[in-house]
Amino acid sequence: MTTTIQETVPSAQQAIDRKTVVQKLLSQLGGGTYLEIGVELGQSLLPIEASQKHGVDPNPIVPVRHRIRMLMQNMFSRNKVHLHQMTSDDFFARRNSILGDSKIDVALVDGLHTFEQAYNDVLNCLQVLSPRGVIIMHDCNPPSARIALRARSHSEALKEFPADGDLRWCGDVWKAIVLLRSFHTDLQTFVLDTDFGLGIVSRGAATSKLSYSREEIEAMSYEFLAARRTTLLDLRPATSFNEFLASR
């Protein structure tokens, strides 16, 4: 796959971020159950308001003060927050014992930044998603080849970065969008051009699709993405979220 590169850099305007998207969707769906894969410091999990919140991370680094806040919330509020220190694969393997009959209304996939894991996390989320539920994928529109570096972890990626203090990293999650758009015509999948690319996945007939094979997707380079970013990702302006929200 060779091409003349005419890169279109993602918009620098952060009109809306993932926390805002999550909260607006939860409010639209009645403030139900939220699942977050990739908790890290809890910067996304903690501010979200939902009746039930499940955070999944094998190595969460949530500060002690925030853990105390979660404990107090679970003691004195009907709105519960659960931190599951395990991989997303383990969480889904145990989903029946953890979730019972509950369904997830909004899920944020922001864990291991490889396209294979992001894709598997989306497929697993679909198994527990409510009929009108929505999956949000972070880091789907990397602005440079460096930020799109393929690695198994952030620390592994940083070993390849120059020592200039720029720690931003998306990995190759964008390929999971191409997979979904190539193989799942029963899903509506597109990317909002904000917050490093917010992938939006919901049930429903795809409005457009791609026809790449798995092998072709695996072989795609960042340069290939840069030359046809809008087409591969069905990239839409952040303002289009309002239209999608109204449809829920």
Other beta carbons less than 10 A from residue 8's beta carbon: 13
Q: What is the mean pLDDT of residues 9-22?
A: 73
pLDDT tens per residue across span 30-89? 989 999 999 988 888 989 999 999 999 999 988 788 788 888 888 888 888 999 999 999
pLDDT at residue 14, as a whole number: 53
Q: Distance between CA 106 and CA 108 in Å, rounded?
A: 7
pLDDT tens per residue across span 162-177? 778 788 889 999 999 9
* Residue 183, domain member (yes or no): yes
Strand 80-84 to 52-56 pairing: parallel
The answer to whether 194 touches 238, Cβ cutoff 8 Å, is yes
Helix (H) or strand (E) holding 32: none
* Residue 102, domain member (yes or no): yes
* Residue 165, domain member (yes or no): yes
Q: Distance between CA 89 and CA 98 in Å, rounded?
A: 13
Q: Which pLDDT band holds residue 180 (cuts at 50, 70, 90)? A: very high
* Residue 83, domain member (yes or no): no
Token couple for 69: 């806040």
Q: Domain of residue 192: give its range.
A: 18-30+96-247
The terminus-to-terminus CA distance of the chain in angstroms comes to 38
* Residue 65, domain member (yes or no): no
pLDDT greater at residue 156 or residue 119: 119
Q: What is the mean pLDDT of residues 197-222?
A: 97
* Residue 145, domain member (yes or no): yes
Question: How does DSSP classify residue 167?
Answer: -
pLDDT at residue 26, as a whole number: 96
Determine phi and psi for 127, rounding to 5 degrees: -70, -20
pTM, entire model: 0.91
* Residue 105, domain member (yes or no): yes
Q: Over the range 9-33, which residues count as b (16 or more CB within 10 Å of their CB) and which as e?
A: ebbeeeebebbbbbbbbbebbebbb
Query: Residue 97 pLDDT more than 70?
Result: yes
Report how many domains make up the chain. Answer: 1
* CA 194 to chain CA centroid, nearest Å: 13
* Residue 77, domain member (yes or no): no
How much is the mean pLDDT over the chain? 91
Portion of the chain with pLDDT greater than 90, in percent? 73
Query: Residue 4 pLDDT more than 80?
Result: no
